[in-house]
A and B are shown apart, each in its own frame.
Chain A
Amino acid sequence: MASLELLFRGARVIDPRAGRDEVADVHVRDGVIVDIGSGLDGPSAEIVDGNGLVLTPGLVDLHTHLREPGFEQKETIETGTRAAAAGGYTAVAPMANTDPVADDASVIAEVRAAAARAGLADVFPVGAITKGLEGEVLAEIGEMAAAGVRVFSDDGRCVPTARTLRNALTYARAFDDVVIAEHCEDASLSSGQQMHEGISSSSLGLTGQPGAAEDAIVYRDIELARLTGGRLHICHLSSARSVELVRRAKADGLRISAEVTPHHLVFIDEDLRTYDTNKKVNPPFRTEADLDALREGLADGTIDAIATDHAPHAVEEKEAEFDRAPPGTIGLETALAVALTELVAPGYVTLPRALESLSSAPALILGARDHGGPIEAGRPANLVLFDPEEHWTVEPPFVSRSRNSAFIGRELRGRVRCTMLHGELTIAEGKATR
């Protein structure tokens, strides 16, 4: 249902980058925004009634696992970007831990081509920092950067030695503001870990990893960013100490950014008491104090972005003994509603800040220039229109090929009505257009 000309009428337009929050009309034609204002006229345009709805830049996910190539039983680029569109996303950054690993330009090209065929979201592949994610030899960062890759990460694995990370941060400086994104976890402190180490792990009999496993590496990496002047991004923060370390690093003027997942903004270690494998994630859910610090860090901008870490796994992999189930939860279809329900409604963050952290902030880190606003004439029409009030309960089936959601059974508020990618609706009236 490609719509060449469309007029969103009377929605609350929240554009964090332009600082706009007002009821307005937005006129879209041929893939771009042609006008924004009140009482706009578009005689040949299809009208979308935005009354009571919010219109904002399409969401951008810095941290997605699309699983293709290699793990198509969990997700494909097509099913994953379809889930993204359903969740209001217009851009996603799939992680490099595929098979083969996205550690050279040919894999990147393959992912891009599959994404273009699907046409459901702009896909910005993340390249590996080291060959095969093995933490030893640098991947061909230069070649991938030339192919347009902006973020590099060995996600799921922490670059094991300070020496290798130092070289990566230094080497990457040559290539136009490339970002090194780290999964911060000291493997020797987290070996065998199933959850956060604390009161809950002690009584559940599950091997824990202390917050220090993250904090020690966040500290190391910040010092390496200071040493090299490289640009560092910290993936999925989980601990209060780490938030504080990032806050201080930013105050020191270092080039550092950070993300948090929707699920780490909701759950704590006690939520594992029924051994629900869908709530087994890495890093693990920590304590109430950590949760408070993450919310505060997101509110004050210490944490730049909400990133889903959408991690699909096959049913049989998650329906297993807790220590055998792989970590991760899907998140693309629930992130916006989780933010509205669990962050905005209780007053932890404002609606504009929540939307900034879901769109314009990650777009800047990712270098996704067509995304994250501003909503202005001449800009690409990547938008999402959502109902901030609609209640729904998270239940399978999902648009994603997998259904390992930590939020199953949870009642949420806020639902996507339309997702627009370069002027075409991928989601219209809450339903996929193709």
Chain B
Amino acid sequence: MNRHLLSIDDVSAEDIVRIMDTAESFREVGTRVIKKVPALRGRTVVNLFYENSTRTRISFELAAKRLSADVINFSTGGSSVSKGESLKDTALTLQAMGADAIVIRHSSSGSPFQLTRWVRGHVLNAGDGTHEHPTQALLDLYTMRERLGRLEGLRVAIVGDVLHSRVARSLSFGLVKMGADVTLVGPATLVPPDAPHWGVQVSYDLDEVLSKLDVCYLLRVQTERQRLEYFPSVREYARLFGLNRSRVELLPEGSLIMHPGPMNRGVEIDSDVADLPQSVIEDQVTNGIAVRMALLYLLLGGRRGDGEEAGDG
């Protein structure tokens, strides 16, 4: 594996299998009474969050703590960042404090790349602007493999605001890398015109693709005013692209419904659909911890305590 996880480009198909296999073995830790292994004892992991994201931060925090690492949460509110400190100076400060890994969430695309120029530790991208969110994609791949037994040849639709979605980018790149068959679905204004170059297909008609899917992956629709220039109304969006009960009927038996959360119930997904057994949204959350444990472990080259040692970077 590369030294950092900045985008799905940093991992090969073999790396992805190794990450998923490692996560598999860590999943069991989460079921113990004492949910902890000493793999990263004495190592320091910093969660550097420039954007609010309670679930991703907590997931990384739990992952690091279950590996016995020391965890520092550095969020923008009330910190030196709100006093105007630059990303570079913050990075140098964390470096000076001996951070072994920095998990960064930032509203600017590419910030994790810039961070690598200023710190010696490993950098993990926890979502950068409208670029990528590679750990989310890896936990989604893990969940699909766990439920469906394979990734190759899986037919997956990613539905919604692909243009602004870092989840859609990472997941598309990851799925294509693993040999899945990806279709992006959404209003034409919210699918990048150059998306076919990612190796995916594009459709503007959800009903037409549903019957051919193994996974229907719904993206959160941003309903802030500046996004509304891309489609006429939330109502029209829900009518054309919302997953409701009658659309679920079109999905083949055994197919999955996924969502990275947090959901807008009643917009991209109807409330009763989110609670169907084929909806694995909670599994995604649980698996997220195991996958992030695997990533920290593999990147930082931790010891499991049973003699096995991960490679360094």
What residues of chain A have their CB less than 8 Å away from a CB belonging to chain B? 194, 198-199, 201-207, 274-275, 277, 316, 319-324
Complex contacts, A203 vs chain B, CB 8 Å:
169, 173, 197-198
- Top 10 A-B residue pairs of the complex, sorted by shortest distance between their CB atoms: A205-B131, A275-B110, A321-B108, A202-B192, A205-B130, A205-B109, A202-B194, A199-B194, A322-B110, A275-B113
Which residues of chain B have C-beta atoms less than 8 A from A322's C-beta? 108-111, 114
CB pair B110–A206 under 8 Å, yes or no, is: yes
A205 touches B169 (CB 8 A): yes
Q: Can you sample 15 A-B contacts with CB below 8 Å? A: A201-B192, A202-B194, A202-B197, A204-B110, A205-B166, A206-B109, A207-B130, A275-B109, A275-B110, A277-B114, A319-B86, A321-B108, A321-B111, A322-B110, A323-B108
Q: Which residues of A contact B192 (CB under 8 A)?
A: 201-202
CB-CB < 8 A to A275: which residues of B? 109-110, 113-114
Q: How far is the CA of A203 from the CA of B198 in the complex (A)?
A: 8
Identify which of residues 160-199 in chain B touch chain A, using a CB-to-CB cut-off of 8 Å: 166, 169, 173, 192-195, 197-198
CB distance from A274 to the nearest CB of B (A): 6
Quick one: which of B86, B108, B110, B114 contacts A316, CB cutoff 8 A?
Answer: B86
Which residue of chain A is the closest to B198 with respect to CB atoms?
A203
Chain B residue at minimum C-beta to C-beta distance from A324: B108
A326 vs chain B, min Cβ distance (A): 14
What's the least CB distance linking A157 to chain B, in Å?
A: 22
Q: Is the CB of B260 closer than 8 A to any CB of chain A?
A: no
Is B111 a contact of A206 with CB atoms below 8 Å? no
Whether A274 lies near B113 (C-beta < 8 A) is yes
Q: Mark B188-226, 1 if CB is under 8 A from A, else 0.
A: 000011110110000000000000000000000000000
Q: Which of B192, B195, B197 has the most CB of A within 10 A?
A: B192
Residue B132, interface by CB 8 Å: yes
Rounded to whole Å, the gap between the CB of A372 and the closest CB of chain B is 41
CB distance from A204 to the nearest CB of B (A): 6
In the complex, A319→B90 CA distance in Å?
A: 12
The smallest beta-carbon distance between B273 and chain A, in angstroms, is 29
| B27: interface (CB < 8 Å) | no
Q: Could you tell me if B87 and A320 are in contact, using CB atoms closer than 8 angstroms?
A: yes
Chain B residues closer than 8 Å to A320, beta-carbon distance: 86-88
Residue of A nearest to B168 (CB): A205
Measured in the bound complex, the distance between the Cα atoms of B110 and A277 in whole Å is 10
By the criterion CB–CB under 8 Å, are B87 and A205 in contact? no
A223–B266 Cα gap in the complex (Å)?
50
Q: Is the CB of B194 within 8 A of A323?
A: no
Within the complex, the shortest CB–CB distance from A23 to chain B, in Å, comes to: 48
Residues of A contacting B193 in the complex (Cβ-Cβ under 8 angstroms) = 202
Q: Which residues of B contact A206 (CB under 8 A)?
A: 109-110, 129-131
Q: Are A202 and B195 in contact (CB under 8 A)?
A: yes
B120 interface residue per 8 A CB criterion: no
**A205 contact set on B, CB distance < 8 A:** 109-110, 128-132, 166, 169
Contact digits for B76-87, partner A, Cβ 8 Å, 1 yes 0 no: 000000000011
Once bound together, how far apart are the Cα atoms of A119 and B276, in whole Å? 78
Closest Cβ–Cβ distance, residue A211 to chain B (whole Å)? 13
Name the B residues within 8 Å of A324 (CB-CB).
108
Please measure, in the bound complex, the distance between the C-alpha atom of A203 and the C-alpha atom of B169, giving whole angstroms: 7
Residues of chain A contacted by B132 (CB below 8 angstroms): 205
B106 on the interface (CB 8 Å rule)?
yes
Asked if B198 and A321 make an inter-chain contact with CB atoms under 8 angstroms apart, the answer reads no
In the complex, the answer to whether A323 meets B109 with C-beta atoms within 8 Å is: yes
Interface string of B96-120 (1 = CB under 8 A from A): 0000000000101111011000000
Question: How far, in Å, is A346 (CB) from chain B's closest CB?
Answer: 27
Q: Which residues of A contact B113 (CB under 8 A)?
A: 274-275
- Provide the bound-state CA to CA distance between A322 and B131, in Å: 12
Min Cβ gap B136→A in Å is 14
Tell me the minimal C-beta distance from B112 to chain A in angstroms: 9
Which B residue's beta carbon lies closest to that of A321? B108
What is the CA–CA distance of A322 and B194 in the complex, to the nearest angstrom?
Answer: 21
Contacts of B109 in A (CB 8 A): 194, 204-206, 275, 322-323
CB distance from B145 to the nearest CB of A (A): 24
Min Cβ gap A163→B in Å is: 26
Chain A residues within an 8 Å CB radius of B114: 275, 277, 319, 321-322
